[in-house]
Amino acid sequence: MQRYAIGIEFCGTHYRGWQTQQAGVVSVQETLEQVLSKVANHSVILHGAGRTDAGVHATNMVAHFDSPSDRTDHGWVRGTNSQLPKDISVQWIKRMNDDFHARFKANSRRYRYVIYNAPHRPALLHKQVTHIHTPLDFLAMQQAAKKFEGTHNFESFRAAACQSNQPIRHVSHCTLTQHGPFMVLDIQADGFLHHMVRNIVGCLLDIGQHVHDEDHIDTIFAALDRKAAGMTAPPDGLYFIQAGYPEIFDLPQVALGPQWLNWPT
């Protein structure tokens, strides 16, 4: 039995998130498992580095599976991609020792959220970015984003349906950059709560539209109540871009996404 790690890129628009759900609900995980099972000629179970909401995308979701089937790495990738729908693609595969686990060995997760701030909606980036047509105060949003760095209780920033046992998370960086009409939030933490990134972005959008000033973030943290925070931003602009692992696993280093998403922070 051989363990394999794979890197997956997907457009989440037509899926109800990463995780397999009840019958009749299409997920990325289930779609991949069905195809990998055909290639392996046995039932395959995938374990992902994290979960994504419905409509959220990924440029390098890491997952693993076990198989006794004898396939070349090229055979696994080409065979799987030839049968996957066009909005899911395996980017790489690597043979791992049994002590690797895509979820439990990951020590960080990283997301990017892309806002397109322009008067008119984009056509070519439909469902790939979140469009805000009113002008946003970038500097105010950039300063407010820094308030999320460090160790905090994110109770006010998680969904009511969040199943995590505790809301304490350490955010190693939370930076907002501007590239023409695009604003890109880059955030990395030891873990994320349900809707955490989208709720953070919702609060930043309120600040960018001068509904609140940046100090309002402190008030939201202190409230420990989801009702104290603003709207949940749409899933369209959210990308899972990286899972961090100890260097001993030596996973492939890949670009954070297509050129327009791979901006420096």
Annotation says 206 is catalytic: no
* Residue that is written with structure tokens 């469902």 in the block: 127
CB 49 within 8 A of CB 63: yes
**Catalytic member of 53, 186, 206, 236:** 53
Which residue bears the tokens 């946003």? Answer: 136
Residue holding tokens 């505790």? 166
Concatenated DSSP letters of 94-133: EEE-TT--TTTT--EEEEEEEEEESSS--STTTTTSEEE-
Q: Which of 228, 208, 232, 231 is nearest to 218 (CA)?
A: 228
Residue 220, phi then psi, degrees to nearest 5: -65, -45
Catalytic residues: 53
